[in-house]
Homo-oligomer: A and B are copies of this chain.
Amino acid sequence: MDSAVNDRQPLRVALLGAGVVGGAVARLLTEHADDMAARVGAPLSIVGIAVRRAGRDRAALGVDPQLFTTDAEELVTRADVVVEVIGGIEPARSLILRAMEHGASVVTANKALLAEDGPALYDAAARHGVDLYYEAAVAGAIPLLRPLRESLAGDEVRRVLGIVNGTTNYVLDKMDTTGAGFADAVEQAQALGYAEADPTADVEGFDAAAKAAILASLAFHTRVSGTDVYREGITEVTASDIAAAREMDAVVKLLAICEHSERGVSVRVHPAMIPRSHPLAGVREAFNAVFVEADAAGELMFYGKGAGGDPTASAVLGDLVAVARHRVGGGLGPGESSYADLPVLTMGDAQTRYHISLDVEDRSGVLAQVAAAFADHDVSIETVRQQLVPAHAGESARANLIVVTHTASDAALSSTVERLRTLDVVRGVNSVMRVEGS
């Protein structure tokens, strides 16, 4: 790490809120302090964390207890960047506007506020010459703001279909995979923490509608507020709707749909059937995804976790680096930021798993010899499956042995295969394939 970076004047960061997201932001800011300083070009220093009530034990956040304050109004006047993760309309709105008036850039995860009053906030940011970033407000950790506003800035987005509420996706997924009714599926979601005790904001589509307004604003470079969004929740979706979808080779998803035609924009949230062959159909459990159709780019999809402390904090920190970097030295291009020089490992050092299919003699002791070859190279076997192969006349009995290993170094795995090739009981190696993604 470049020590010159840490000698620079630190950027003052004020954090509003110390709940699940705020706590994760504080913790990650501390853990990744060096990396973030390198990426920003100056260290980031938390100058205060505004909380509603003093005195609660927040030792787990790992920050100086003296940083906690109940006077958010004062805190925002002495920061370069204000991170707002309180949520709700007030006092979040007043604090953000006050921060901007005092020259601070703002990072927020507040979908309700952006959906209700986004244009006023954008205008205030422009008036005071500060940044307003809000990646975390839609689809949590999934990067959408930069892709939609910057990567596609030379294209025209025609349509956005989003699964932007994890609770409802979990409920609909359970209804699809288990045949459960709506009420049962909601109960399951509550038991696993995917739905709140009062799930109204999710299941009635209010949360998705706020996100749809922000998505449409981003995608079409226009102003859409939450009240412009047509909204239907999933409370009326029945097991027979799900069954009807299944017969159509489709699934039911709660979609946020933003369309741009010559007549204007249409923004709506409602359950809809989509074909199982569509990329959105494979979005399972509480995951989110946003499918984008653009004139030149064609079909794009962005997939990931839509909620949770760490995923949301990841998005907040990405924004924080951007606005902080902007403060320090103007916008740095992607080719210009500082580089680490990490060692590059050889293929032999790579950790992977092998799937090996062997043609072996069918007699006692074969498995023992094969297993020994693995053990000698410290490769642990996950599963072995043996299939008899019908022998031709005059041939000795044969079997097909399929071995899937646990993770090991590629060097150990390939040496194991070399050894297997030399065993008398192995008549041939049919297939060797690495296994990834599990």
Contacts and interface: CB of A to CB of B under 8 A. Distances in A.
Interface in A340-380: 340-347, 349-352, 355, 357
Interface in A298-340: 298-305, 308, 310-311, 313-318, 320-323, 326, 330-331, 333-340
A145 B311 contact: no
Given A228-B344, A350-B230, A301 B300 contact: no
Query: How many chain copies?
Result: 2
Interface residues of A, number: 134
B313 A296 contact: yes
A43 to B, nearest CB: 14
Q: Which of A151, A228, A431, A435 has the most CB of B within 10 A?
A: A151
Q: Which of A161, A320, A331, A341 has the most CB of B within 10 A?
A: A331
B154 A333 contact: no
Interface of A is mostly: mixed
B430 A156 contact: no
Interface string A220-244: 1111100010100000011011001
Interface stretch (A70-78, A187-195, A247-255): A247-255
A260 interface: yes
B345 A265 contact: yes
Q: Which of A146, A301, A304, A333 has the most CB of B within 10 A?
A: A333
A437 interface: yes
A63 interface: no
Interface string A250-278: 10100101011101111110111111001
Given A248-B404, A340-B220, A431 B240 contact: yes
A346 B264 CA distance: 10
A388 interface: no
Contact of A435 (B222, B250, B263, B350): B250
A422 interface: no
A161 B436 contact: yes
B143 A152 contact: yes
A132 interface: yes
Given A299-B304, A322-B150, A273 B355 contact: yes
Interface in A279-295: 279-282, 291, 294-295
A24 B271 CA distance: 37
Given A150-B321, A241-B433, A125 B305 contact: no
Contacts of A102: none
Contacts of A311: 296-298
Interface stretch (A32-40, A51-59, A86-94): A32-40
A226 to B, nearest CB: 12
A142 interface: yes
A400 to B, nearest CB: 9
A143 to B, nearest CB: 3
Interface in A160-207: 161
A250 B323 CA distance: 43
A248 to B, nearest CB: 7
A84 interface: no
A39 B107 CA distance: 22
A23 to B, nearest CB: 12
21 contacts: A24-B296, A32-B155, A131-B333, A134-B335, A141-B298, A152-B314, A153-B321, A155-B317, A220-B340, A222-B340, A222-B342, A252-B433, A265-B344, A266-B344, A272-B352, A296-B310, A296-B313, A297-B305, A298-B305, A299-B304, A301-B301
